[in-house]
Amino acid sequence: MKNHLISFGIGLAAGCFGGLIGLGGGIIMVPLLVGLLKLDQCRAHGTSLVVLIFTGISGAVTYGYHGQVDWKFAAVLAVPAMLLVTAGAHLADRLPDWKLKKTFGVFLIFCSALLLLKPLLADIIGVLPGFAPFIALAVTGAVTGFLSGLMG
């Protein structure tokens, strides 16, 4: 019963934080699953991705209801992400637990830097000429998909 309550708390924290700042709840969920429930790193990543299916759908429906989804950009991001997520997951499965933990730590530092630079990145994408924004989005989708599979 204690693990169920801890799991509920982890889900609540990840959902609130992820929805609030626009980062995947896995950034919160994975360290808590490893630290509090003692899941191995790869299992925590996989568990996080399953949970994110449901939170992603719920969040997307809510944002869509309020007209806050650019469907064209979402499609350009989603297609390469879906193509590369399995490669990231396969790599995560092959890495030793200690190496996956270190990689995840570096990833968290990178995400922190992105949060600080987020306003500047939006301005850069907005001023690219012609089809360059779509190419940038496709590359972003590919990288994001791979990292989602690798990092949960």
**What is the pTM (predicted TM-score) of this model?**
0.76
**Cβ atoms of residues 139 and 75 within 8 Å:** no
For 104-121, how does the pLDDT look when each residue is reduced to its tens digit (9 = 90+)? 888 888 888 877 887 776
H-only helix segments in 69-131 = 71-94, 97-126
Q: CA 73 → CA 14, 26, 120, 147, distances in Å?
A: 25, 23, 18, 19
Give the residue extent of every domain in the chain.
2-151
Q: Is residue 135 scored above 80 in pLDDT?
A: yes
Residue 14: which pLDDT band, with cuts at 50, 70 and 90? low
Residue 77, token pair as written in the block: 């991001």
For 37-77, how does the pLDDT look when each residue is reduced to its tens digit (9 = 90+)? 888 988 988 888 888 888 888 888 999 999 999 999 999 99
Query: Which residues fall within 8 angstroms of residue 145, CB to CB, at 6 or more apart?
Result: 80, 81, 82, 83, 84, 85, 88
Higher pLDDT among residues 88 and 124, named by residue:
88
Cα distance between the two ends of the chain: 25
